[in-house]
Amino acid sequence: MKHKLLVLTRDNSAYYEAIRRHNLPDLEVLDDSPNSVFEADVWLAEPKLAAPLLAHASQLAWVQSTFAGVDALTKSRRHHHYQLTNIKNLFGPMMSEYVFGHILALYRHHTKYSQLQRNSHWQALPLRQLRGKRMVLLGTGDIGQHICQTAHQFGIEVIGVNRSGTPKAPFDMTLSIQQLDSALPGADLVVCVLPSTDETVNLFDKHRLQLLKPGTIFVNVGRGDLVDEQALILHLSLNPTSHAVLDVYRQEPLPEDNPLWKCQNAILTPHVAAPSTTEDVVRQFADNYLRFIANQPLNNQIDFALGY
Amino acid sequence: MKHKLLVLTRDNSAYYEAIRRHNLPDLEVLDDSPNSVFEADVWLAEPKLAAPLLAHASQLAWVQSTFAGVDALTKSRRHHHYQLTNIKNLFGPMMSEYVFGHILALYRHHTKYSQLQRNSHWQALPLRQLRGKRMVLLGTGDIGQHICQTAHQFGIEVIGVNRSGTPKAPFDMTLSIQQLDSALPGADLVVCVLPSTDETVNLFDKHRLQLLKPGTIFVNVGRGDLVDEQALILHLSLNPTSHAVLDVYRQEPLPEDNPLWKCQNAILTPHVAAPSTTEDVVRQFADNYLRFIANQPLNNQIDFALGY
């Protein structure tokens, strides 16, 4: 049986090229005409581009997301008539780079040393060391596990937080989201890599942000709707020694008039912590495609009810 | 037998306090009067403060350095009539923080993203990832080993360079200093944690800096005399995509008129990568003191001929 693939990304030509190199058997790659939506049984797609077309996807059997985050597909209550898989084990190393790059820049006074250099001024600032600090890490999947390993390499104790609270390696302790409040006051670092689900929306509201001690660094590289941005802005202005490092926002691109941009102790980046490369995504798609045609279970399947 | 201790640091009172807490047996802590130099058989000292007094140290049996770097003592050709020990296994984690904080800040465009934030401008810059990069790491002792482990956590291949070239864990490969030139053209990152010895002075001269490919990040957290600073300034202006991250200099504090200060692609810090805390140093001193009075071999002994 011949399978028909629809590619829905912001750079289809790069994907066509990468897919061609894999020489996948019995696969016809369709063009991006409207007809292809009706015909294709396999989609390789960015979740937000795929979501509005699902109602017309009469032949669809499987969607391979090009991202880790698939909430644009799981949050819809309808159109769950296909298998959904996402990308895993690519983002951990990039997320570790992002998270520790920014934490270390703050701990080691990069901005202040850069000012001193501009003034040709030799002056040592107080040392803050990561060793012995405590991180509360929300999200214990492959990304969280990589960040945890990196934290351990720097001598940080890591409390993982997930839905069930089931103990998980390599975390020093694992709590459920319901137990989160007990861990926040002891945290030096709070890092969020959670997917967006009903349980995580507005998790960091005014109440929870108040549980953080002054000086805490709050990092969000998961989903923007985890945080009440107005409450965060208030929290940061009340706690000038605290910092937020944000890569994701409730609205992206972040509107030019959003007051977060001007927040002195917020560090903002435009959703760039862990982009996937076409080559890496297509490699995972190709592996899964061979499983798909052999009727084997697909890798990285998403449970629509859980949202991850 | 009663032992007599001279403390020679820039903050003696903190050391007196920490030593007192350890309740070391048979130890009299002398004050810092000139007489103490003649009387003490044990010194706990910063190398540069100890060096000019050695000629008068008639009773001296052992110097515990408060630093890792002891070249101020080993480079003198005279006065090697005592045992010298340094501090180890404290600096690796701090050096890793410093080295990867700065490398990640450069790879992940911290400065440019900060400018974009000031302009409320949402724009993604090209991703540079550490995974798959190659580091040449000069110095394979406890500091180099910690940096190597951290590099591995980020997916970096590490070639260690030391005097003999003897293979050493956890390096992917080990070369001798004589083989250094063969490794430099393939390096994305060059990190130096070498002590200052006859073999390392001016190791990075004009010739070796020319072997680095454009875009290479050169980090020196060992000793300043490893680098020909004039050659480095020339190298950086000829290679605008390359960077140097420097914590140590030929003259410290770095003179206000040194052109390094104004070098656009140099990041300078005032010898702060890995300061020792009094408490940590005194803990290692106390361990060694108990060995000293029990006539057991001291930890972290320095070979004056090798210089480390």
* Domain total of chain A: 2
State how far the Cα of B226 lies from the Cα of B204, in Å rounded to an integer.
Answer: 6
The pLDDT-based confidence of B212 (bands split at 50, 70, 90) is very high
Extract the runs of DSSP E, i.e. beta strands, from chain A. Answer: 3-8, 27-29, 42-45, 62-65, 83-85, 134-138, 157-162, 173-176, 189-192, 217-220, 243-246, 266-268
Q: Say yes or no to pLDDT of A307 above 90.
A: no
Same domain, A284 and A156: no
Q: Say yes or no to pLDDT of B121 above 90.
A: yes
Q: Which of A97, A131, A258 to mutate against chain B (most B CBs within 10 Å)?
A: A97
| Beta-bridge partners for A301 | A85
Is A197 within the bounds of a domain?
A: yes
Same domain, B182 and B239: yes
Same domain, A33 and A101: no
Same domain, B19 and B115: no
Is B110 within the bounds of a domain?
A: yes
Distance of CA B6 to the CA centre of its chain: 25
Q: Which of B89, B91, B107, B120 to mutate against chain A (most A CBs within 10 Å)?
A: B120
Q: pLDDT tens digits for A209-231?
A: 999 999 999 999 999 999 999 99
Confidence at residue A89, expressed as pLDDT on a 0 to 100 scale: 84
A174 SS3 class: strand
Q: pLDDT tens digits for A239-294?
A: 999 999 999 999 999 999 999 999 999 999 999 999 888 999 999 999 999 999 99
Same domain, A216 and A285: no
Number of CB atoms found within 10 A of residue A251's CB: 10
Residues of A identified as active-site = 223, 252, 271
Least CB–CB distance from B110: residue in A105, A258, A271: A105
Whether B105 and A107 lie within 8 Å, measured CB to CB: no
Contacts of the segment A285-290: beta carbons below 8 A, 24+ positions apart: A285/A19, A285/A44, A285/A64, A286/A19, A286/A22, A286/A24, A288/A62, A288/A64, A288/A85, A289/A3, A289/A24, A289/A27, A289/A42, A289/A64, A290/A24
Confidence at residue A203, expressed as pLDDT on a 0 to 100 scale: 97
Is A154 within the bounds of a domain?
A: yes
Same domain, B124 and B223: yes
Q: Say yes or no to pLDDT of B151 above 90.
A: yes
Number of CB atoms found within 10 A of residue B1's CB: 5
Confidence at residue A90, expressed as pLDDT on a 0 to 100 scale: 87
Q: Say yes or no to pLDDT of A197 above 90.
A: no
Query: Is A20:A27 a contact under the CB 8 Å cutoff?
Result: no
- Find where tokens 């590619």 sit: A7
Whether B256 and A120 lie within 8 Å, measured CB to CB: yes
Q: Say yes or no to pLDDT of A76 above 80.
A: no
Amino acid at A7: V
Nearest to A128 by CA among A222, A268, A243, A210: A243
Contacts of the segment B253-261: beta carbons below 8 A, 24+ positions apart: B253/A122, B254/A122, B256/A120, B256/A121, B256/A122, B257/A120, B258/A120, B258/B229, B259/B233, B260/B229, B260/B232, B260/B233, B261/A117, B261/A120
Whether A101 and B101 lie within 8 Å, measured CB to CB: yes
Confidence at residue B147, expressed as pLDDT on a 0 to 100 scale: 98
Same domain, A78 and A103: no
Query: Is A139:A193 a contact under the CB 8 Å cutoff?
Result: yes
- H/E stretch holding B50: helix B47-50
Confidence at residue B219, expressed as pLDDT on a 0 to 100 scale: 98
Q: Say yes or no to pLDDT of B235 above 80.
A: yes
Confidence at residue A305, expressed as pLDDT on a 0 to 100 scale: 86
Confidence at residue A196, expressed as pLDDT on a 0 to 100 scale: 87
Q: Which of B245, B249, B269 to mutate against chain A (most A CBs within 10 Å)?
A: B269
A129 SS3 class: coil
Tell me which chain A residues have a C-beta less than 8 angstroms from the C-beta of B252.
122
Same domain, A65 and A209: no
CATH, residue B241: 3.40.50.720
Q: Say yes or no to pLDDT of B198 above 90.
A: no
State how far the Cα of B233 lies from the Cα of B209, in Å rounded to an integer.
Answer: 10
Closest alpha carbon within chain B to A111:
B111
Tokens of A190: 């709070």
Closest alpha carbon within chain B to A108:
B98
Q: pLDDT tens digits for B19-74?
A: 999 999 999 999 989 999 999 999 999 999 999 999 999 999 999 999 988 999 99
**What mean pLDDT comes out for the span A93-120?**
98
The pLDDT-based confidence of A80 (bands split at 50, 70, 90) is confident
**A12-22 and A278-293 helices, crossing angle to 10°:** 50
State how far the Cα of B114 lies from the Cα of A111, in Å rounded to an integer.
Answer: 10
- Find where tokens 């002054």 sit: A214
Whether A123 and B275 lie within 8 Å, measured CB to CB: no
Closest alpha carbon within chain B to A274:
B127
Same domain, B153 and B59: no
Same domain, A24 and A67: yes
Residues spanned by the domain of B151: 92-268
Is B160 within the bounds of a domain?
A: yes
State how far the Cα of B175 lies from the Cα of B160, in Å rounded to an integer.
Answer: 6
- Kindly tell me the burial class for residue A25, based on how many C-beta atoms sit within 10 Å of its own C-beta (0-12, 13-18, 19 or more): exposed
**What mean pLDDT comes out for the span B274-298?**
94
State how far the Cα of B62 lies from the Cα of B80, in Å rounded to an integer.
Answer: 10
Is A299 within the bounds of a domain?
A: no
Structural domain ending residue among the three candidates B268, B285, B303 = B268
Q: Say yes or no to pLDDT of A306 above 90.
A: no
Whether B124 and A270 lie within 8 Å, measured CB to CB: yes
Least CB–CB distance from B127: residue in A129, A150, A275: A275
Same domain, B257 and B117: yes
A108 SS3 class: coil
- Find where tokens 């080990």 sit: B174
State how far the Cα of B47 lies from the Cα of B45, in Å rounded to an integer.
Answer: 6
Number of H helices, E strands in chain A: 11, 12
Is A305 within the bounds of a domain?
A: no
- H/E stretch holding B175: strand B173-176
Is B260 within the bounds of a domain?
A: yes
Tell me which chain A residues have a C-beta less than 8 angstroms from the C-beta of B261.
117, 120
Is B303 within the bounds of a domain?
A: no
Supply φ then ψ for residue A32, to 5 degrees.
-100, 35
**What mean pLDDT comes out for the span A26-43?**
95
Q: Say yes or no to pLDDT of A15 above 90.
A: yes
Residues of B identified as active-site = 223, 252, 271
Least CB–CB distance from A270: residue in B98, B123, B252: B123
**What mean pLDDT comes out for the span B278-285?**
94
CB pairs under 8 A between A and B: 125
Same domain, A130 and A250: yes
